[in-house]
Amino acid sequence: QKYDLPTPQSIFELSYFRERPDAFYQLAKELWPDNFLPTPTHHFIKLLHTKGLLTRCFTQNIDSLEAAAGIPREMIVAAHGNFDGC
Protein backbone atom coordinates (compact mmCIF):
# COMPACT_ATOMS: atom_id res chain seq x y z
CA GLN A 1 0.00 0.00 0.00
CA LYS A 2 2.77 2.39 0.93
CA TYR A 3 4.32 2.19 -2.55
CA ASP A 4 1.01 1.87 -4.43
CA LEU A 5 2.05 -1.38 -6.11
CA PRO A 6 -0.18 -3.61 -8.24
CA THR A 7 1.43 -6.65 -6.52
CA PRO A 8 4.03 -6.93 -3.72
CA GLN A 9 6.70 -8.34 -6.05
CA SER A 10 6.22 -5.53 -8.59
CA ILE A 11 8.79 -3.40 -6.80
CA PHE A 12 11.46 -5.90 -7.90
CA GLU A 13 10.28 -6.39 -11.48
CA LEU A 14 12.19 -4.66 -14.26
CA SER A 15 9.06 -3.77 -16.23
CA TYR A 16 7.55 -2.01 -13.20
CA PHE A 17 10.88 -0.33 -12.42
CA ARG A 18 10.91 1.14 -15.91
CA GLU A 19 7.42 2.52 -15.27
CA ARG A 20 7.92 3.75 -11.71
CA PRO A 21 11.54 3.62 -10.52
CA ASP A 22 10.71 5.92 -7.59
CA ALA A 23 9.04 3.06 -5.68
CA PHE A 24 12.20 0.91 -5.78
CA TYR A 25 14.47 3.84 -4.91
CA GLN A 26 12.29 4.78 -1.95
CA LEU A 27 12.42 1.20 -0.63
CA ALA A 28 16.19 1.00 -1.18
CA LYS A 29 16.69 4.26 0.71
CA GLU A 30 14.69 2.88 3.66
CA LEU A 31 16.63 -0.41 3.65
CA TRP A 32 20.06 1.21 3.28
CA PRO A 33 22.45 -0.49 5.74
CA ASP A 34 23.62 2.76 7.34
CA ASN A 35 20.10 3.12 8.75
CA PHE A 36 20.59 0.09 11.00
CA LEU A 37 23.06 -1.35 13.49
CA PRO A 38 24.03 -5.01 13.84
CA THR A 39 21.83 -6.88 16.30
CA PRO A 40 22.97 -9.03 19.22
CA THR A 41 22.59 -12.01 16.88
CA HIS A 42 25.06 -10.49 14.40
CA HIS A 43 27.51 -9.97 17.26
CA PHE A 44 26.98 -13.56 18.42
CA ILE A 45 27.85 -14.83 14.93
CA LYS A 46 30.97 -12.64 15.04
CA LEU A 47 31.86 -14.20 18.43
CA LEU A 48 31.55 -17.65 16.87
CA HIS A 49 34.00 -16.53 14.20
CA THR A 50 36.40 -15.08 16.77
CA LYS A 51 36.37 -18.38 18.68
CA GLY A 52 37.04 -20.33 15.47
CA LEU A 53 33.63 -22.01 15.51
CA LEU A 54 32.10 -20.36 12.45
CA THR A 55 32.57 -22.31 9.25
CA ARG A 56 30.50 -19.99 7.06
CA CYS A 57 27.73 -17.42 7.54
CA PHE A 58 24.84 -17.97 5.12
CA THR A 59 22.30 -15.17 4.95
CA GLN A 60 19.23 -14.24 2.96
CA ASN A 61 19.42 -10.66 4.18
CA ILE A 62 20.65 -7.92 1.87
CA ASP A 63 21.59 -5.41 4.56
CA SER A 64 25.28 -6.35 4.96
CA LEU A 65 24.97 -6.15 8.76
CA GLU A 66 27.04 -9.32 9.13
CA ALA A 67 30.05 -7.47 7.69
CA ALA A 68 29.20 -4.41 9.79
CA ALA A 69 29.42 -6.64 12.87
CA GLY A 70 32.95 -7.62 11.86
CA ILE A 71 32.45 -10.97 10.17
CA PRO A 72 35.00 -11.19 7.34
CA ARG A 73 33.41 -10.90 3.91
CA GLU A 74 34.99 -14.17 2.77
CA MET A 75 32.98 -15.96 5.50
CA ILE A 76 29.64 -14.52 4.31
CA VAL A 77 27.49 -16.12 1.63
CA ALA A 78 24.68 -13.73 0.71
CA ALA A 79 22.04 -15.84 -1.03
CA HIS A 80 20.29 -12.84 -2.58
CA GLY A 81 23.27 -10.52 -2.88
CA ASN A 82 23.65 -7.52 -0.63
CA PHE A 83 24.09 -3.76 -0.62
CA ASP A 84 27.86 -3.83 -0.34
CA GLY A 85 28.22 -6.19 -3.27
CA CYS A 86 26.03 -4.45 -5.79
Catalytic residue, candidates 42, 43, 49, 80: 80
80 has catalytic annotation: yes
> What spatial distance separates the first Cα and last Cα of the chain, rounded to whole Å?
27
Query: What region, left, alpha or beta, does residue 64 occupy, with left being phi > 0 and alpha being psi -120 to 50 degrees?
Result: left
Distance CA 52, CA 73 (A): 15
Supply the residues annotated as catalytic: 80
